[in-house]
Chain A
Amino acid sequence: MELFLQQVLNGLTLGGIYGLIALGLTLVYGIMSVPNFAHGAFYMVGAFAAFLLTTRLGFGYWSAMVVAALCTALLAVLSERLVFYPLRNAPELSPMIAAIGLMLFLEAGAQAIWGADFHHMSGPWSGVLNIGGIVAPIQRLLIIGGAFGLMLALELFLHHTAPGSTILAVAQNREGAALMGIDPHRVEMLTYAISGALAAVAAALYAPINLVYPAMGQLVILKAFVIIILGGMGSVRGAIIGGLIIGLAESFGAFYVSSDYEDLIAFALLIVILSLRPQGLFATKLRTS
């Protein structure tokens, strides 16, 4: 029983991280219909920022997380202005290619500056709690609390604040929102900023139990894509639920099936689901292209 609950804990941890990353991705997709392949690179940049702030500049963990989030948000907005906005009217292929170019640029840049090595970043409180026989490393509890708390905060932000509702409006109907006086471009930049910040927070939360290295975003971004396809591109709830599903599936799969191929679980799920339902599990609004 304890082993089962242990896997649940691990699954929740992963689910929290994946959910945060998928959220950023799905927000951007909902607004611009562009799969931002560079999102994993934002995640990586967030991790490096937090890492450098804590190890080289003596920041505390939490302040480093905030600053890293701001830096990544800025990077995301720059990407929107310099890459995605100019390509908004180009054929569908162009922004996809550009996103990959951006991703590889950021990865190569990180590698050029800091090398390809793995770095370790420590969390605020090391140590472990023992809850009824389950080993609960504090960092994991932090992740679960932080991630789900942030997701809740985002939901509230989107549905109960003015700026949040502009995002929902533009995602639903761009022209309609513009007619109501909402500036779609500003909303796009805001959305990118939020997505970058979410990625950075996820990275900072996860880094202490993972490693920091230039290619760290690659696998994670693929899983994030699997999640938003399953949950529905542009659906916030879908990203959160999808993240949980994948996190739990991986955790249980790694333990009960095989840990060597655990990364394949997400993709196997994707293949199975897309074979049965090409539009994803929860198809959201119909987009006319």
Chain B
Amino acid sequence: MTYARRLAWPAVLALGIVLPLALHNDYLLTVMSTAFIFALATIGMNLLTGYTGQFNLAHGGFFAVGAYTVGVLTVDHLWPFWLAFGAAGLVAIVLGLAIGPLSLRLRGNYFAIFTLCVGYIMFLVIEKWDSVTHGVVGIIGIPSPPAIGPVSFDSPRALYYLTLAFLALGMWLMQRIVNSLVGYTFIAVRNSEPLAQALGINLMVTKVSAFLISVCYASFAGGLYAGAVRFLGPDLAAIDHTFDMTMYMVVGGVGTLAGPLIGALAVPWVTENLQFLQNYRFVVFGPLLIALLIFVPNGLVGLWQAIWARRAARAERSAQASRTVSGEPHA
């Protein structure tokens, strides 16, 4: 790996750390914190959709489940925040084990439809189960994460660093996973399920693993959301958020490491600057997404990679031309 590539990620992180010192704007910091939270969830979604090829339309539902787990436990049962946060992960795994094996037996299209329904069920349950979720009223007054030692988290800047830390951790773990044998197995399943099976890969175990990791990311991100935004409503489980995250993935590049991150930071930034779009953002995003899918299907990262690949191919061709070729003809 060249020095440039080795330094890329640390440089980005350094930029993230330094940013609040340059920006003295609390509002923007809050926007970025929220973006980081959704970026974390999107990275998780990308593992299942981009790397394993399964489109989970209930991903936003798991995000809401994580948020509500934290909300309900801290507000109604006075659990300490971090304990509730841990519980969010546990709930995701339990729910994931209930839904995953059932839904992953279904072929691609069916799986998407099934998860669309599951997501809607999650929304309905959150909206109607008044006794637990407070129904339409929502949950208010969620405590912000308690101080860890001298560091307290009730300022926008502190929250920014907290969410940045989680995002960095999430990215780092994802990078580990994706570049490992486990990650390669996910990719094999996405490329061709029959071929993966012929290589001895157990499809169900692989898909369920990806599913569980993915929804854990969503749930933990949701838990962070609860602590950062501090009030929740059933709308959190609506399809909108799943779609936003899908948008981030497609813009950045599905199935790449940096793609979801880039998308999750770039798109909200654009939305922020076009304030009038807020509630009607899909009027622009819908067609934009379709155009991307048709013309730039591999997203920004894919575009970048394609440019580099073309350069590399050109370089190799000119290197070959000046080399004496012995024997084998090349395509």
Contacts and interface: CB of A to CB of B under 8 A. Distances in A.
Contact of A270 (B109, B117, B124, B279): B117
Interface string A86-115: 110010111011101111111111011000
Interface stretch (B71-79, B154-162, B286-294, B307-315): B286-294
A229 B293 CA distance: 27
Contact of B106 (A218, A264, A274): A274
B294 A33 contact: no
Contacts of A233: 109
B47 to A, nearest CB: 14
Given A93-B53, A96-B55, A225-B116, A101 B289 contact: yes
A27 to B, nearest CB: 15
Q: Which 8 pairs between the two chains have the least Cβ-Cβ distance?
A: A105-B286, A108-B282, A104-B282, A101-B289, A101-B286, A108-B283, A278-B105, A112-B280
13 contacts: A87-B293, A93-B55, A97-B289, A100-B246, A101-B287, A101-B289, A103-B286, A105-B286, A109-B280, A222-B120, A264-B121, A274-B102, A278-B110
A101 B246 CA distance: 10
A232 to B, nearest CB: 12
| Interface residue range, chain B | 35 or more
Contacts of B121: 264, 267
Given A83-B290, A229-B113, A260-B128, A105 B120 contact: no
Contacts of A90: 293-294, 297
Given A105-B287, A267-B117, A270-B117, A97 B250 contact: yes
B166 interface: no
A261 interface: yes
A275 interface: yes
A218 B116 CA distance: 10
A263 B123 CA distance: 12
A255 B287 CA distance: 42
Interface in A225-243: 225-226, 229, 233
Given A98-B289, A267-B118, A278-B105, 7 more contacts: A37-B116, A90-B294, A92-B109, A101-B247, A101-B282, A108-B280, A270-B117
Contacts of B317: none
Contacts of B283: 105, 108-109, 112
Contacts of B239: 100, 104, 218
A93 B124 contact: no
| Residue of A33, A101, A112, A275 with most partner-chain B CB within 10 A | A101
B251 to A, nearest CB: 11
Contact of A94 (B105, B128, B247, B293): B293
A58 B121 CA distance: 40
B157 to A, nearest CB: 34
B281 interface: yes
| Residue of A92, A96, A264 with most partner-chain B CB within 10 A | A96
A111 B283 CA distance: 10
A244 to B, nearest CB: 20
| Residue of A83, A97, A275 with most partner-chain B CB within 10 A | A97
Contacts of B117: 222, 225-226, 267, 270
A106 to B, nearest CB: 8
A222 B124 contact: no
Interface string B89-121: 000000000000011011111101110111011
Contacts of A37: 116
Contact of A104 (B49, B108, B285, B293): B285
A104 B243 contact: yes
B103 to A, nearest CB: 8
A109 B277 CA distance: 12
Contacts of B49: 93
